[in-house]
Amino acid sequence: MKYINFKTACFVAISASMMGSVSADTLRMAFSVAPSTIDPFKSSASGTASLNEHLYEALVSRTNDKLLATSYGWTDDTTLVVNLREGVKFHNGADFTAQDVVYSSCRMMYRVGGKKNMLTSAMGPVTDVVAIDDYTVAFKTVGLYPILIQKLKSLSILDSGDADLGSTLKFDNTGDCGITRYPTKDEFATGKYANGTGKYKYESFSNTGDAVLVRNDDYWGNPGNWERVEISSVGNSGARMAGLLAGDYDLIENPTGEDLLALEGNSAYSFSTEPSWRTIFLVLDVGSDVAPGVTAADGTNPLKDIRVRQALSLSINRDAIVDKLMGGNATVASQFAPSYQNGADSSMPDLAYDADKARQLLADAGYSDSITINLRMPTNKYQNGKRVGQAIAQYWSRIGIEVNLVAEPWSVFRKGRSARELGVFMYGWGHPQGPAQMISYAFGTRNKPLNLGGSNYSNYSSPDFDAAMTAWAVETDEAKAFEYNQAAMRVAVEDLPGIPLYYQHSIWAHTSDISVSGRPDERTFADMASKN
Amino acid sequence: MNNIPLLKINNLTVTYPLNSEGSDVLKALDNISLNVNSGQIIGIVGESGAGKSTIGKAILGLLDPPAKIVSGEITLTDTAMIGLSESQYESFRGNQIGYIYQNPMTALNPVLKIGEQVIEAILANTAMTGKEAYNYAIQLLERADVSFAKDRLQKYPHQLSGGLCQRIVFAIAIAAKPKLIIADEPTTALDVTVQSSVLQTLIKLSQEEDIAIILITHDIGVVSETCDYVYVLRNGKHIEQGETVQVLEKPTQEYTRSLMASVPLIEKRLHRFALPNEDKMEGMTSHLGYLEEERKENLYLNKTILKVTNISKIFYTSSTLFKRKEAFKAVKNVSFSVNRGETVGIVGESGSGKSTIGRMILGLEDITEGSIIYNGRDLKSITSPEDRLAHCLSIQCIFQDPYSSLNPRMTAGENITYGLKVHKLIDSKNAKSLAQDLMTLVGLQRHDADKLPHAFSGGERQRIGIARALGYRPDFIFCDEPTSALDVSVQANLLNLLKDLQEQFSLTLLFVSHDLAVIRQMCDQVIVMKDGEALENGSNDSIFEHPKHLYTKSLLKAMPKFKGIAKQVGFNDSK
Amino acid sequence: MIDYKKKLATLSIEIKSIFSGHPIAIAGLIGFIVFVLTALLAPWIAPQNPYDLMILDIMDGLLPPLSKLGNGTTSWLGTDALGRDILSAVMYGLRLSLFVAFVAVSIGTTIGVFLGLLAATKGGWVESVIMRAVDLKVSFPGILLALMLLAVFGTGVDKIIYALIIGVWASKARLTRSSALSEMQKEYIDAAKISGIPNWRIMLKFLLPNSIAPVLVMVPMALSGAIGAEATLSFLGVGVPITEPSLGLLIANGNDYLLSGKWWISIFPGVVLVSLVLCINVVADRIREHNNPYLKSMDKQ
Amino acid sequence: MINFILKRLWHSGILAITMSLIVFFGMYVVGDPVEMLSDDEFTEQDKIDLAIELGLDKPLYEQYFTFTGDMLQGDFGTSFVYNRPVLDLIIERLPATLEISLLAMVIGLSIGIPLGIFSGIKNNSRASKIISFFTTVGYSTPNFWQAIILIMVFAVFLQWLPASGRGLTNSMFGVEWSLLSIDGLRHMALPAVNLAIYKICMQQRLAKSGTQEILYQEYMTYARAKGISRYRIIRRHLLRNILIPIVTITGLEVGGLIAFSTVTESIFSWPGIGKLLLDSIHMIDRPVVVAYLILITLMFVFINFVVDVMYAILDPRIRHQK
């Protein structure tokens, strides 16, 4: 009885007026992953990328908006010409020109102390970056490289004035470029060179993941919504939520689905969700003669049998998982990338739930009650991951499969995966550059030149799938590329080298006096939020 | 003595609960009455468990719970002392009644300077302040025969000797010129040589200030030298009281008489202690034959069983933060020899190295320098397991502390026969009856063999220890202060037993003790040791009657004497 | 047989003398016994087997206390997200927590006692090595070490037992050594030595039974410490596997729901955890107090 | 003295080396830093490049010697994850841990010791029994459970105190401290109390048993027999002696505080070294973990040394050992 009162009291307390009063033009956000640096070339981890996106801009945004580019196109198989926006100024007042793009490309290739940057590999095929005039720049590649424009979404543009350029600036693959001095790592850490064209300007940053930003009033487009943005990093979801409720933050990332229930009856807070590009799916080793952690009575790898894979898929009630465990904050998956992502086949039929049929299929395949599966998964990685893992284990148990659920720290999990010790595992993957990217890595037959199959832990190999992906990889026409991609996806859904579960939604919880429209790439940007 | 007594105790009974409900109690004091007149020194004598200390604590209200005064009266001049509040007691303690503890090293707070401890007592019990108290403290210390009084005030207790600390405790006791001092075994914890002078100081101080003393002690010698009047207590009960000479010379009670007979004399060596009702052992069984037969073979092989030549022992202390590793020479160049069937005594104060010699002979310590030849063989040359075993069995030891010399987890019988069984000298079947026989031999009951050590008293445990040693059929027994932890009457019994056994089994004894009187009674030959050196070596009579070394003389001089008593009690024979 | 009976009688007298007149300690002892019985009997008295994935139904998930489950039974303390009955989960969690702690403490204590005896009797480099290892361990907070180890070796019931053993052995070894060293000062050891009794016999027959008492007194404390440590590690997600939740993991699971008003998921296991540790500590305190030489000497006089 | 220090250093050197070996090789078993730092779309070549970049391509023993060699020159390496010198990372976060630990220590000592002495002296009083019961409860409650309750009650339910983060920090000696602002103190309150509860209970129990032990010493009875007032006996005779065990234990307990701060910091998102350690363990950020443990080892060695010195200062018997 006492605790029921406690619960009601809890809501009452939450409804009570907020304690701290903060200037209305300040947004206080709590990230779930701490940004580790304000050098935009170092890490694509979500916290770092989210922070840096406030300060720096690329040519094109991840959602395909034109930022510093106004238009672009391939003039021949190996030349990508980009027209740049005029009248853009860096935070220090310098004008943005084509030279800054060349400089930024150089710095991306420049290895400080031998260390690679985010795009060092991705820009490997780029042979030259030429400033044609002040507002036109051309990227020359070694061969067909249609995906380059996608890759350039991660090329934040820095001010060339922050380095000593020397006499001639000429791009080369080492990043030497004739530049006599780059800002050093330590100089960057001081914030002196946190000098981009973004909507917000640097004020302070500490490696504990706390940062303060202020509005860039000279921004070329619509100025930022907030005069001041304070970013904190709180890894523990409960603490993040408690901080929101305690009035420490206006906006938090990734509350747990359960926490949202607490907010539902409370007018002072609300939350916003946005379907993300991340698909949660199970990877099945369908290629090995013996799949690690998967045993059947006859000693073979039962996952090689399509009927077993179908049974595994049919046994799972995805609707129940989404409703009961995810609190509705997920979308049932029909394929390996969100149906709503640009380029995906939105008409893909739903995957059925039919436990009886699943049992039947297992019987037909001769595996009734004879399969044992170690279902491996990382802990603390995906929303409700542990519970979903247990639910999958429940469902598979019911069709007569013995399941051992092994949840391990991410580090242990990753090592096991790279040693290919995981026969069946749960994974979440989304790719901002479109659905094709992910399945090309995950299910393609290993093909180094085309960069296919790099993460093919299913050991899956299908000529039809590979044919479609190979065609996609060199197709510069977007519409055609989408078609190849959808064809490959259909093959994968047919063959089930993995089992799609659901598309994760990103969630932001916030006070009711702001409204938030989220992003599908799981990053958090101050201007997602606006005052009501 | 007709005037009103200074302190009057009437029918005092103090109990300790034996269980948590308090239904079963131990009477630490049972209906005790006692008078002290001003300026008088009275003695309370008794063995352990007599309740002597309880009286002292009861007077001052210092009984630790759960001890409880259940009845009786304590009156100091005209104040009833029972049931006072803590603050009322405070006004008596130190002020009217001084208190002296047995061990000054534990009575003085180890982390406070002497000065503070003296001065706080002065401040608490007199009207003096600051500088005045400081000067008075110096004065007090000087009066208590503490040299360099001013410097000593700056020291901590552990930096001074026990004797000095006790003098400081005296100084504190007389600070407020109390009417009465309760001295609880004031010299027991001190070295023999300083005991008498410390006691003299106490007497002197009390006479100067006309302070009455209640002297609580187990030492009849001390009583005979100092007390006017004496009370004898046993197990909390009053046994006898009277003028000291009266009680010591003509005890009316059986207990007092046996107590007097138990006191080892320094003046004269007796064959045995003439204890009034000593049990004679009877009823030996066949197994003891085993003890006697075997040993006869190698008896009288050679006259000298043990020859110790120039042995030294160096110990190294481990280094700590404030002290580096140091070498400490415990035994310096000692030589002596022991003849078969003889008892050789080593006498010395604590730290004189006497036990270390024994431990080297037993093989418990390495020999740093010199040689020990036992039965014609150098100990260092004994290396083979068989020889070692034979050596082991031939030399045994009776230890000092009855409370630690038996394995508490084994029954008495197991303690006696465990080693014999390990060496297959006896099979398990016979082990039990052998143990029982040995128990009988040392004057215990056969069925006691099944009891665990904690069921025995200290004296009984020592007997079990003797039985254990005898089980190995030794030729030579090292007796390491075997009676120092025992009450005097128990000691006398045990020493008699040892003498009997020695005769019966032709044992050779090396007897170590700090007690000159015990050595006098036990040994044929005596070695006097101090600081690791053997100062003097000679026959019993020559050492005790014609000591040569100054140290020996001072030792003898420090011994309390009560010649007359011995005559009166009338020991009947001498060797 | 008789001996056994006698020992039992002595033991019961000893227990009586420890606890009589100490109502809180008695309550703690009774509480502890109830917890142990519940843990032992969990498979028979728990309403469901919360480890059996077959019978769990996520459709039963997150029901408050006293709800009816899909199969018609009542869940007295509610269910968690996966439809696990909290009452059953707590019983099984208790079972697991106690099991892990018991096993870890008994193995750790055995190892510690053995090493402590070895160090005390052997001396020399053996002692140095053992005691340096003890220093190494003792100078490091157990929870940190366990965290590192679990991060290294992964999680699992066996792994957490190893990690806890490593937390337990060192202090026991140190205690045993010092107790054995002081025991070795005693004359009965000398008596055994001069009688040529082999060292290993001295160690087992003389030293072990006499120096183990202070270690045994610390065992209840070690037990509650191990339960707490296991709960903490499981709470941090490096303890027991998620399919077999211990009390700590149940709390961690429920912690996610605490703000949403689904208090029963973590409050019940939390209350049980705290009560369990409390009961053991109350008993442990009493036993220690009983064995405190200062208080004891007073008792005896 | 010098010998002693040298011996201590030698021991701690062995300690540190053993620790670094265990951790270094242990972390190698756990997981592959390359895997942790690489995206799913990394090619094999990218991973090899990354390994070379991090110096992970060399044989493990060589990595170890390089690492320790650099460390001896004061270079603790560069964090794989933060790409910054490890020492900087640790030093930046150390103040956060220090300030809550110290605050917890101060709270623990200033409440725990008086309570303990009180309940030691008045052992049989009702108040003492109540205090002792509560401290037993407090110290039977796992740290994380206390944290949960504290957050629920004070942050969510009453909304008095913030539940996470460090709040406003001010600079002193070039270091950021939360201690110096009201907001910072408000943020410190819950984590510090969380750490302190255990301290209070621990100190109370220690002080209580210490008090009782000393109360039964002969010199305490003797002090009473001298006629010294009760107040003075407690102030001089009791307190002076009780400080000895308390200082020792307190010194050693600093270690416990640092250890438990990992739990507390992670629950309260307090950006100290404990949280850094947990994060780094998860991310296989080996240089950080190894450096942390070595620094902590050195710190413990130092604390032990200080405790020894304190011990001697407080206990003249040790100081004057001859």
Residue of B128, B322, B326 to mutate for D, most D C-beta atoms under 10 A? B322
pLDDT at C197: 87
Residue D26 has a CB neighbour count (10 Å cut-off) of 17
CB environment A282-302: b (16+ within 10 A), e (fewer): bbbbbbeeebbbbbbeeebbb
SS3 B216: strand
Q: Contact at 8 Å (CB) between A97 and A68?
A: no
pLDDT at C30: 95
Q: Is residue A344, in this structure, part of any structural domain at all?
A: yes
Which residue blocks in B472-539 are alpha helix, DSSP H? 488-505, 516-522
What is the set of domains in chain B, with CATH numbers? Answer: 5-261 (3.40.50.300), 286-540 (3.40.50.300)
pLDDT tens, residue by residue, C195-243: 888 888 898 889 998 888 888 888 998 999 999 999 998 888 788 888 8
Mean pLDDT of chain C: 85
The answer to whether A52 contacts chain D (CB < 8 Å) is no
pLDDT tens, residue by residue, D84-94: 788 888 888 88
pLDDT at B22: 63
Which residues fall within 8 angstroms of residue B228, CB to CB, at 6 or more apart? Answer: B40, B41, B42, B243, B244
Domain of C82, CATH number, reads 1.10.3720.10
pLDDT at B319: 62
pLDDT at B289: 54
Could you give the percent of chain C with pLDDT greater than 70? 95
Q: In 3D, which of A194, A179, A175, A191 has the Cα closest to residue A126?
A: A175
Q: ipTM of the assembly?
A: 0.78
Question: How far is the alpha carbon of D256 from chain A, nearest alpha carbon, in Å?
Answer: 22
Question: How far is the alpha carbon of B189 from chain C, nearest alpha carbon, in Å?
Answer: 20
pLDDT tens, residue by residue, A444-468: 998 877 778 888 999 999 999 999 9
Amino acid in position C157: V
CA distance linking residue B270 with residue B477, whole number of Å: 21
A387, A394, A409 member nearest C53 (Cβ): A394
Interchain contact B/A (3 or more Cβ pairs less than 8 Å): no
pLDDT category at A58 given cuts 50, 70, 90 is very high
CA distance linking residue C264 with residue C246, whole number of Å: 16
pLDDT at B279: 53
pLDDT at B282: 47
pLDDT tens, residue by residue, A240-264: 887 887 778 899 998 876 677 777 7
Residue where a domain stops, chosen among A137, A166, A186: A186
Backbone angles phi, psi at D57, to 5 degrees: -85, -20
- Partner-chain contact B111 D240, CB within 8 Å: yes
Q: In 3D, which of C83, C262, C50 has the Cα closest to residue A325?
A: C83
pLDDT category at D211 given cuts 50, 70, 90 is confident
Q: Contact at 8 Å (CB) between D70 and D291?
A: no
Q: Which of A493-507, B320-334, B438-452, C42-56 has the lowest mean pLDDT?
A: B320-334
Q: Is residue A211, in this structure, part of any structural domain at all?
A: no
In this structure, the answer to whether residues A309 and A429 fall within a common structural domain is yes
B48, two tokens: 């352990």
- Partner-chain contact B16 C21, CB within 8 Å: no
Q: Which of A486-500, B263-277, D222-236 has the lowest mean pLDDT?
A: B263-277
Total residues found in chain A within this entry? 532
Higher pLDDT, D164 or B572: D164
Residue B324 in this model has a pLDDT that exceeds 70:
no
Domain of A64, CATH number, reads 3.90.76.10
Residue of B76, B120, B169 to mutate for D, most D C-beta atoms under 10 A? B120
In this structure, the answer to whether residues A301 and A429 fall within a common structural domain is yes
Q: In 3D, which of A63, A133, A79, A65 has the Cα closest to residue A101?
A: A133
DSSP state of C79: B
- Partner-chain contact D142 C282, CB within 8 Å: no
- Partner-chain contact D156 A437, CB within 8 Å: no
Among the four given CATH numbers 3.40.640.10, 1.10.3720.10, 3.40.109.10, 1.10.10.10, the one describing domain D88-275: 1.10.3720.10
Residue A1 in this model has a pLDDT that exceeds 50:
no
What are the DSSP calls for B312-364, one per residue? EEEEEEPPBTTB--EEEEEEEEEEEEEETT-EEEEEE-TTSSHHHHHHHHHTS
pLDDT at A485: 92
CA distance linking residue B358 with residue B336, whole number of Å: 12
Beta strand B7-17 with B68-76: parallel, antiparallel or unpaired? antiparallel
Domain of A458, CATH number, reads 3.10.105.10
Rounding to the nearest 10 degrees, give the CA dihedral for residues A436, A441, A444, A446: 150
Out of A128-142, B7-21, D237-251, give the one with best mean pLDDT.
Answer: A128-142
- Could you give the number of structural domains in chain C? 1
Q: Is residue C82, in this structure, part of any structural domain at all?
A: yes
Question: Quick one: average pLDDT of C180-198?
Answer: 88
Q: Is residue C5, in this structure, part of any structural domain at all?
A: no
Question: Angle A165-A171-A172 (CA atoms, 0-180°, nearest 5)?
Answer: 120
Which pairs with CB-CB distance under 8 Å and at least 24 residues apart come from C251-254?
C251/D144, C251/D145, C251/D148, C253/A386, C253/C80, C253/C81, C254/C80
Q: Which of A120-124, B63-67, B131-135, B370-374 has the lowest mean pLDDT?
A: B63-67
Q: In 3D, which of A519, A498, A444 has the Cα closest to residue A280?
A: A498
Q: Chain C neighbours among B 46-75 (CB < 8 Å)?
A: 64-67
Q: Which domain holds residue A134?
A: 45-186
CA distance linking residue C140 with residue D300, whole number of Å: 8
pLDDT tens, residue by residue, D108-159: 889 998 899 888 888 878 898 899 889 999 989 998 999 989 988 888 778 7
Could you give the percent of chain A with pLDDT greater than 90? 50
Q: Which of A52-66, A513-527, B72-86, B155-169 has the lowest mean pLDDT?
A: B72-86
- Partner-chain contact A414 D45, CB within 8 Å: no
Question: How far is the alpha carbon of D33 from chain A, nearest alpha carbon, in Å?
Answer: 8
- Residues from chain C contacting residue D14 (CB–CB below 8 Å): 132
Q: Which domain holds residue C288?
A: 14-300
Residue where a domain stops, chosen among A121, A153, A186: A186
Q: Contact at 8 Å (CB) between B388 and B397?
A: no
pLDDT tens, residue by residue, B494-538: 888 888 888 888 889 999 998 888 888 889 899 999 888 889 998
Backbone angles phi, psi at A221, to 5 degrees: -105, -150
pLDDT tens, residue by residue, C252-261: 888 877 777 7
Q: Contact at 8 Å (CB) between A158 and A97?
A: no
pLDDT at B451: 86
Q: Which of B268-282, C244-258, D307-321 has the lowest mean pLDDT?
A: B268-282
Q: Is residue C80, in this structure, part of any structural domain at all?
A: yes
CA distance linking residue B86 with residue D224, whole number of Å: 10
Question: How far is the alpha carbon of C48 from chain D, nearest alpha carbon, in Å?
Answer: 26
Q: Contact at 8 Å (CB) between C180 and C209?
A: no
Q: In 3D, which of A101, A437, A133, A63 has the Cα closest to residue A274?
A: A63
Residue where a domain stops, chosen among A145, A170, A186: A186
Q: Contact at 8 Å (CB) between A55 and A211?
A: no
pLDDT tens, residue by residue, D41-63: 677 777 787 788 777 888 888 88
Q: Is residue C8, in this structure, part of any structural domain at all?
A: no
Q: In 3D, which of A105, A295, C211 has the Cα closest to residue B407?
A: C211
Mean pLDDT of chain A: 87
Q: In 3D, which of B346, B395, B335, B326 has the Cα closest to residue B369?
A: B335
Beta strand B525-530 with B533-539: parallel, antiparallel or unpaired? antiparallel
Residue A14 in this model has a pLDDT that exceeds 60:
no
CA distance linking residue B422 with residue C63, whole number of Å: 68
Higher pLDDT, D293 or B405: B405
In chain D, where the domains are located = 20-72, 88-275
Residue A4 in this model has a pLDDT that exceeds 60:
no
pLDDT tens, residue by residue, B203-217: 888 888 888 999 998
Residue A507 in this model has a pLDDT that exceeds 50:
yes
